[in-house]
Amino acid sequence: MSILAELFENGSLLEVMMDFGEEVVSKARSNVRISQTKFGRKRKASTTGALQASLKFDLDVNTGALTFGSDLIYARTIEFGAHGKESTPRGESQWMTPARMPPSDAILKWMDIKKIRLREKTATGSKFAKETESKRKSVAYAIAKGIEKKGITPLEYYQDAYKETLPDYMPQILEAMNEGINIQILNQARTLKTMRV
């Protein structure tokens, strides 16, 4: 058994780390649900609620690694953003992936959920257009092509949640680690006392 595993087994470190992980996930879900302005763009990542429901964490007691993630394939792209073929959005990070053109059917579904109505230009401005299925498909294709060209600005819902939560939990984590180390030292001392030469 590793020393970290023993620290998690003895004392309150496991409980503190589990509470920390749950708080980060809770704040990340909130970050996905609310509209935020990041790098000059106002966005709300959750249309259906699937992304926020999929957020989770895992704690490896052997290494102490706390891993945050989601099973949805697009969660990473929403977090870190994506490079466009013709330009890169602001907020570029080392974990950005190249943008791919999303399926037009997914964009159509998104347009339906958001109740997006088509507009057309007039001499005095614009007005709502008479919608047909072919026009909606054409607009969905144009949006998907725009994502491929311009990329996706990162939302950083997990990074922001982690940075916001860590200062509040750091004293508890350090205290729990100290407690675990003290228990480990006491156990070692007891073992040494009972050993026969």
Q: How confident is the model at residue 108 (pLDDT cuts 50, 70, 90)?
A: very high
User: What local confidence, expressed as pLDDT, does residue 3 receive?
Assistant: 65
One-letter identity of residue 41? R
Average pLDDT, integer, range 30-36:
85
Entry pTM: 0.77
| Matching residue, tokens 């809770």 | 26
Tens digit of each residue's pLDDT (9 = 90 or more) over 96-106 = 888 888 899 98
Tens digit of each residue's pLDDT (9 = 90 or more) over 124-135 = 888 888 888 999
Q: How confident is the model at residue 116 (pLDDT cuts 50, 70, 90)?
A: confident
Question: In the predicted model, is pLDDT for residue 166 greater than 90?
Answer: yes
Question: In the predicted model, is pLDDT for residue 151 greater than 90?
Answer: no
Say if residues 107 and 144 touch (Cβ distance below 8 Å): yes
48 vs 111, residue with greater confidence: 111
Q: How confident is the model at residue 158 (pLDDT cuts 50, 70, 90)?
A: very high
* Alpha-carbon gap, residue 80 to 91, rounded angstroms: 9
| Matching residue, tokens 């491929």 | 148
Q: How confident is the model at residue 194 (pLDDT cuts 50, 70, 90)?
A: low
Question: In the predicted model, is pLDDT for residue 61 greater than 60?
Answer: yes
Closest listed residue to residue 142, CA positions, set 115, 111, 176, 173: 111
